[in-house]
Amino acid sequence: MLARAFCDDPQFVWLMPSEQSRPARLRRFFGTLLRVEGFGLADIDVVGTEDKVAGAAVWFAPGGWPPPATRQLRALPGYVRAFRKRVGKASALVDAAARMHPRTGYWYLACIGVEPATQGQGVGAALLRYRLAVCDAQGAVSFLESSKRANVPLYAHFGFVAGAPLRLPPGAPEITPMTRPPRPPAIGGGEVRTDDGQ
């Protein structure tokens, strides 16, 4: 599902320019992220049914990003197979993003994706609301990088503040780091909603 959701994402179009090979390479990328680099370290929030995932968000808890060097080395072959000759460009992108991450403990939204057929139906918003309520309850900052300009206002609606775009190699798409301070809990409390108010 994540591979389908990110198939038209500007950063992956730049790093995987072949439309024919991009779906398989994205599956390898997300497989490496979830099964190797993030396994046991990342929290994965999912919206869907037992047999169909409508959306997912991958978060690293405070202190969980970046993963230990040994984990990064184990993940490297999968990323090399995913990015092939552009693995150097992918590494430069990761390095540029790392310089913009907060310096203290924070929740890092590594990726959030929605099945293309269900985009625009509130799935992504439900995923964000759920984890941001956790961040607020912990008094924790949250951080992400938006690779689509059109998504910046959406994240701003949830309290994220845009920083200066990353300094990337020529030809790279614009990527905007965004940070969200925790919000105080609402007066009267109440349970966390994980959908559009239903």
Which CA distances in Å does 90 have to 31, 82, 87? 16, 10, 5
Nearest CA-CA partner of 2 in 28, 36, 37: 28
The domain segmentation of the chain, as residue ranges, is 2-180
Residue-wise burial string across 134-144, b where 16 or more C-beta atoms lie within 10 A, e elsewhere: bbbeeebbbbb
Could you tell me the fold of the domain covering 2-180? Aminopeptidase (3.40.630)
Band (187; pLDDT cuts 50, 70, 90): low
DSSP character at residue 169: -
| pLDDT(158) > 90 | yes
Q: What local confidence, expressed as pLDDT, does residue 87 receive?
A: 95
Q: pLDDT tens across 56-113, in order?
A: 999 999 999 999 999 999 999 999 999 999 999 999 999 999 999 998 899 999 999 9
